[in-house]
Structure 1
């Protein structure tokens, strides 16, 4: 496991290399380290504004991470016109490097600390709407039910877990907390989270999966009732069939 000192040294070295790279016009720290300094387990999240084709710069930096930092694997996460290239180092440290066009270098949320360059004005990425989260939730509930009837136990468990995630997101949206990746779940009150423990699947069989799905459906309807009783009443007969 990497140490704080090792992580911070690698981050500072990467930023120094970026500032010396003529193709990189700006760099920023994002994620938890940009806001409150992160904690013992925070990884490295950097954004680079690139002048010219992204692929050439990404290829050069990929070689650098593998050769100089002994990266053992990497993968890409496209995001609009940018690409997040995610590296794993032998110490278990994750290094996320975002490469985007120079003209779009700038924050899309509060987790941003400019190191060098001139970022564009902040343009917050749109949060998911309550309609979208609600739709995904009932979609997951229906698919979980079908998978149970088809005796596809693992797939049913996946949909039940996904449904629980949407319920957490809906509660976070209602209370003004971050909705993505359960980042605001630890801020939710116990009256929201305690009932969700019953949605955890303890065995892959029809009875247990049905029980967990029933608990998840009840939690979903309870959450929806707090903000839209009419919609909750319309969904209840379908989801509890």
Structure 2
């Protein structure tokens, strides 16, 4: 895998290329590198403010990154605005997440932001997940895990059990005001939350094991629901128990 020197050299090349590109009028780091909390394994997240057509800048930079770094793959995410997040894989497993955004949308949407050049503009902050939606996903996933068990679909049942655990972790992070995306706050959860989750792991695809894991996951979910929304937990707990 990549070395820190290789990653840092790549970052320096990106900055130099942006400074030399007349269509780029702003450059910022996001992610852990912006707040000084990155480590040896951190990837590179940057935002480019584009003057003119964003699509043209994306095409030009993509060609340059393939030529300069021998990129192996790229794929896109939406930004919630009119920009594009293009994710690149470079040799050595260097990951680049580059947001191309129109100049008016250049600005922090969260605490992880460091401007290197350009003028950021005030932007709406990324909202946290809606708690009611997370709870809805939780009972949905529990129900479908049980249905898959009744149908004898072991792989699909395991999928829904794991997905239910993900919603439980998100709900606990919401309650404790921890990062929710990609389980980034999971390692900060207290032991009383995470210790019971060890029993929710699916150890085999046998029917008894899947039913055991589902019961453990539903039990942990009900406990978290009671802390997050006691009134709703009182309504849902008897129904969740039916699935165990």
Q: TM-score range by the shorter chain?
A: over 0.9
Alignment pair present for 1:56 and 2:56? yes
Q: How far is the alpha carbon of 1:140 from its aligned partner? A: 1.2
SS of residue in 2 equivalent to 1:216: helix
Checking the alignment, whether the CA contact within 8 Å between 1:109 and 1:122 is kept in structure 2 is: no
Q: How far is the alpha carbon of 1:237 from its aligned partner? A: 2.1
Aligned residue for 2:113?
112
Q: How far is the alpha carbon of 1:122 from its aligned partner? A: 4.5
Superposition RMSD on alpha carbons, in Å? 1.2
**Aligned structure 1 segments of 4 or more residues deviating by more than 6 angstroms:** none
Aligned residue for 1:156?
157
Q: How far is the alpha carbon of 1:180 from its aligned partner? A: 1.2
Checking the alignment, whether the CA contact within 8 Å between 2:171 and 2:228 is kept in structure 1 is: no
Checking the alignment, whether the CA contact within 8 Å between 2:196 and 2:220 is kept in structure 1 is: yes
Aligned residue for 2:17?
17
1-structure distance, mates of 2:16, 2:37: 19
Aligned residue for 1:191?
192
SS of residue in 1 equivalent to 2:21: coil
Q: How far is the alpha carbon of 1:120 from its aligned partner? A: 0.5
Deviation per CA, 1:203-225: give whole Å up to 9, x if none.
11221111111111101110111
Q: How far is the alpha carbon of 1:136 from its aligned partner? A: 1.3
2-structure distance, mates of 1:60, 1:125: 28
Deviation per CA, 1:57-111: give whole Å up to 9, x if none.
1111111111110101111111222211111111111111111111101110001
TM-score (norm 1): 0.96
Aligned residue for 1:170?
171
Aligned residue for 2:220?
219
Alignment map for 1:44-83 (pairs within 5 Å): 44-80=44-80, 81-83=82-84
Mark the runs of 5 or more structure 2 residues left unpaired by the alignment: none
